[in-house]
Amino acid sequence: MMGTVVLRILTVCGSLQRLSANRAAIDVASGFWGTDVAVEEFADLVRIPPFDPDAVADTEVDEWRARLAAADAVLFASPEYAGAIAGTLKNALDWIVGSGELYAKPVGVISAGTSGGVHARRMTIQTLTWQGAHVVAELGITMPRSKTDDDGAFVDGPTIAAINSLAATLVAASTMASQQRLALVHDVVRAAGVDEAHIAPLTDD
Ligand SMILES: Cc1cc2nc3c(=O)[nH]c(=O)nc-3n(C[C@H](O)[C@H](O)[C@H](O)COP(=O)(O)O)c2cc1C
């Protein structure tokens, strides 16, 4: 019997290269989710123009905002470049400061890269939290090339299990009781070393 879609999850990969470990991580999560989740990928980060506060309208930015707004939860997976968040993703996130599409929305953060993207994850969690998103799970994947096959797909059991666990948490957080979710967000944000004072309160409280 066909399941009923109850949750819409948008995936966003901050890497633009073809053989991307971060996209491979998203593929694992997408494979984990069942028929009660509708997974969509936002694959147009490359088309989003440099952030300009003076800009009044842009089709690609409108589409980015609309896709985020339509999602119940979002999974970000992005590399760390030179000890920081990938510029493509930061640029896209700058466009939604003030428009609020991620406000109180559950999000997951993955960074696959040489050292596990600890700085990229902290910065991504910080900027998402500043924008009101509820970061409910995060995961660093070190040395991804040693955990993937020739086609770039993850084959390492513990890595796949960790991604599946994050994917399960993102789904669970989307439906859990308000205070339980908020406690989870505080745990993740605190562990990342990000100021908890910026965590958005739940809107239905
Ligand atoms: C310009 C550049 C800078 C990088 N800087 C870092 C870094 O600071 N920390 C890190 O862990 N990995 C760094 N890496 C390695 C990437 O994280 C790694 O190549 C990762 O697999 C890229 O993600 P992708 O496979 O999804 O494209 C860097 C790679 C490039 C090309």
Q: Binning pLDDT at 50, 70 and 90, where does residue 1 land?
A: very low
Q: How confident is the model at residue 3 (pLDDT cuts 50, 70, 90)?
A: low
Check pLDDT > 80 for residue 203.
no
Rounded distance from Cα 84 to ligand 1 centre (Å): 10
Task: Let me know the angle formed at the C-alpha of 128 by 127 and 132, rounded to the nearest 5 degrees.
Answer: 115
Over residues 137-151, the pLDDT tens digits come to 999 999 999 999 999
Residue 56 confidence class, pLDDT cut points 50, 70, 90: confident
pLDDT of residue 141: 98
Q: Is 17 in the pocket of ligand 1 (CB under 6 A)?
A: yes
Is residue 108 in contact with ligand 1, taking CB distance under 6 Å?
no
Q: Decide whether any atom of ligand 1 lies within 6 Å of the 14 Cβ.
A: no
pLDDT at residue number 146:
97
Spatial contact of 25 and 154, defined as CB atoms under 8 Å apart: yes
Q: How confident is the model at residue 119 (pLDDT cuts 50, 70, 90)?
A: very high
Which residues, 6+ apart, have CB-to-CB distance to 114 below 8 Å?
80, 142, 143
Hey, which residues does 178 pair with through a beta bridge? none
CB of 140 within 6 A of ligand 1: the answer is no
